[in-house]
Amino acid sequence: MRGTSVLVALATIAVTELSAQVGKQPGMIEPNLATEAELATLPNLSADVAKAIAAGRPFLSMTDLNALLAKSLNKDQLATLYGKMFIHVNLNTASKEEILLIPGLGPRMLHEFEEYRPYQALAQFRREIGKYVDARELARLEGYVFVPVNLNTATDEHILTIPGIGPKMLHEFKEYRPYQNLDQFRREIGKYVNAKEVARLERYVTLN
């Protein structure tokens, strides 16, 4: 039965998502990109806190954002909020504390997340984590995570899964290939966006 559930899980993922490196989840807001008005509609998030999020962006990890929110929200309130708003967790480098901010994720699943490092693609995450959860839970968990995109080899589809990336920035990412180091990425992409946005984008990319 477990093998059957894995096949069902894989079959339910749309073909267009098979190239994804950044998980998607319907209805999930990216706090680094949402407007204040969008943030203020979320559960347990007041207009003042929404303003504080906007002022503190970009948050380069979920633990950074959680440190701000934990000043005014309790654990249950945060869990409810994180069902609607989250900064993707890097499957290869995220700390235990950051991974455990994913709603409903406990020590056992934390162990499974870490066991299969390093992840090369989300397809590997689906294959390995699909051994332990059903299709619905696998799709939910995938919405919280990402595997960094290789700047020199990623397909257009891979790059376009980075939140906030459109055709224009896709062109800029590819124009400067091959990248020799991340300093080059910062310098070239910094021609088009400010330093804060470069930092936000950098967390989704790699040269390894």
Distance CA(179)–CA(151), nearest Å, equals 7
In the numeric block, which tokens belong to residue 156? Answer: 């257009």
* Residues 97, 2: Cα–Cα separation, whole Å: 29
Q: Which residues of 112-142 are buried (b: 16+ CB within 10 A; e: fewer)?
A: ebeeeeebebbbebbeebbeebebebbbbbb
Q: What is the pLDDT of residues 117-136, one digit of tens each?
A: 999 999 999 999 999 999 99
Whole-structure pTM value: 0.88
Summarised one tens digit per residue, pLDDT across range 13-69 is 333 344 469 999 889 999 999 999 999 999 999 999 999 999 999 999 999 999 999
